[in-house]
Amino acid sequence: MNNRGQVLGEGDEDDELLADVARRYYLDNTSKVDIAKDLDLSRFKVARLLEDARARGIVQIQIKSPSPIDRALADELAEKLGVPRCVVTHTSGSPEQIRDQVAEAAARTVAPLVHDGDLLGLTWSRAVDAMVDHFDTLPACTVVQMAGSLHSPAGGGSTMDLARRAAALAGGTAHAVHAPLVVDDVAAVAALRRQPGIADTLALADRLDISVVAIGAWRTGCSTVWDAVSEEIRDDGLAGGAVAEVSGHLFTADGKLVESPLEQMIIAVSADQLRRPAERVALAAGVHRAPAVISAVRAGLVSTLVTTTDLARDVLRELAALERT
C-alpha cells in the first residue's frame, strides 16, 4: 500500500497515479529517488511507472527542432538539381523579413565552410549584405570583392563596405574593387579593368576557396542590376534569352552566358571565375526566381543553394514541368 491508500498489483496502476508520477518527474523536475520516497515506492517502481505512462499515452514527448530548416525538402531539392547541398529554411513575413531569414540561414551555412587562410569572395546583394550582419565571427580569411560597387535604393551598403565588414570579423584583409559594377561607357570599363588595384583584385578570384553570390531573376523587382540599367539593356538581355543574373552576368534557362551589351559594361569577375571555387554558395529568395535558380545551377555557379521552402517547391514544380516537355 502507498500513501494514496491504494494497493497496486503488478501492471494494475491507475492512470491517476501514472499521471501523478509523470507530472512530478517531467514538470516538477523531481528526481526518481525523491518521488519514490514521497509515494513509498521503490526507485525501480517509479522508473517502470514512467515507462508505463509513456506506453499508455499519458506522457507524450514531442521534440521540436530549434532550426527552421526543412531537411527533407532540402535533400529532395539537392537531388533534383544535382548539387551537393541545399539549405531550405521556413520563412514568413514581409519580403525584407524573408530576405533576412535566408541571410541568417546562409550565415550559419557559410561560416563552417570557411577555414583559416581561405580566400572568401563576396558579391553584393541585399541578402549577402544581411548575411554578413548575422556572422558572429569568421576564421582568419582574406575577403575578395567580386564585383564593383552597387548601391541599392532599397537600402544596404556597397560591395566595398560588405567586404570590409566581413574582413573585420575575420581579422583579415579585404581586397576591394574601387569602381562601380555597371558603367555605361565601354571604353571606361576597359580602362578601369586594367587599373592595377582592380585587375589584381579580380585576378584573386582565380584562387577563391569559397564564394557567396545571390541569384537574381532578369525581370522587374528581382535583380538590383536590372534596376540599375536602361530599358534598352534590359530588353537586350531578354532578347538573348536571359532568365538569371548573377554578379552582373546574364544566363539563359539552360545556363549559357548571354553575350549582351551588359557583359561589356560590368566590372566583375568573369563567369568562368564564378565557377572555379570548390565551395560556391548561392542565395535565392522571392517569387519568380525558380527558372533563375535552375539556370544558375546549370551554369555551374552553385554547389550549395540557400533558399526558402516556397522557392524550393517552385523549383521542384518547374523541374517537373521541364521533365514533361
How confident is the model at residue 64, as a pLDDT?
A: 55
pLDDT in tens, 187-235: 999 999 999 999 999 999 999 999 999 999 999 999 999 999 999 999 9
Show the cell assigned to 124. Answer: 553584393
| Residue 25 CB-density burial (10 A; 0-12 exposed, 13-18 middle, 19+ buried) | buried
- Count the neighbouring beta carbons within 10 Å of the beta carbon of residue 67: 11
229: CB partners within 8 A, 6+ apart: 182, 262, 265
How confident is the model at residue 7, as a pLDDT?
A: 40
Q: Which residue has the higher pLDDT, 69 or 151?
A: 69
27: CB partners within 8 A, 6+ apart: none
Show the cell assigned to 252. Answer: 539563359
Whether 23 shows a pLDDT value over 50: the answer reads: yes
pTM of the full predicted structure? 0.78
- The DSSP code sequence of 71-134 is HHHHHHHHHHHT-SEEEEE---SSHHHHHHHHHHHHHHHHGGG--TT-EEEE---HHHHHHHHH
CA atoms within 13 A on the CB side of 155: 6
Whether 62 shows a pLDDT value over 80: the answer reads: no
247: CB partners within 8 A, 6+ apart: 123, 146, 147, 213, 268, 269, 274
- Strand ranges (DSSP E) for 128-209? 142-145, 174-175
How much is the mean pLDDT over the chain? 90
Task: Report how far residue 260's alpha carbon sits from residue 258's, in angstroms, rounded to the nearest whole number.
Answer: 6
- Count the neighbouring beta carbons within 10 Å of the beta carbon of residue 191: 12
Whether 29 shows a pLDDT value over 80: the answer reads: yes
Task: Report how far residue 101's alpha carbon sits from residue 21's, in angstroms, rounded to the nearest whole number.
Answer: 42
Contact by Cβ (8 Å): 248, 315:
no
pLDDT in tens, 169-189: 999 999 999 899 999 999 999
pLDDT in tens, 254-293: 999 999 999 999 999 999 999 999 999 999 999 999 999 9
How confident is the model at residue 219, as a pLDDT?
A: 97
How confident is the model at residue 5, as a pLDDT?
A: 39
How confident is the model at residue 125, as a pLDDT?
A: 86
Contact by Cβ (8 Å): 272, 92:
no
Contact by Cβ (8 Å): 153, 308:
no
159 — pLDDT class (breaks 50, 70, 90) = low
How confident is the model at residue 146, as a pLDDT?
A: 95
pLDDT in tens, 101-147: 999 999 999 999 999 999 999 998 889 999 999 999 999 999 999 99
Q: Highest mean pLDDT range out of 6-15, 156-165, 188-197? A: 188-197
CA distances from 95 to 87, 217, 226, 263 (A): 19, 15, 18, 29
- Count the neighbouring beta carbons within 10 Å of the beta carbon of residue 287: 12
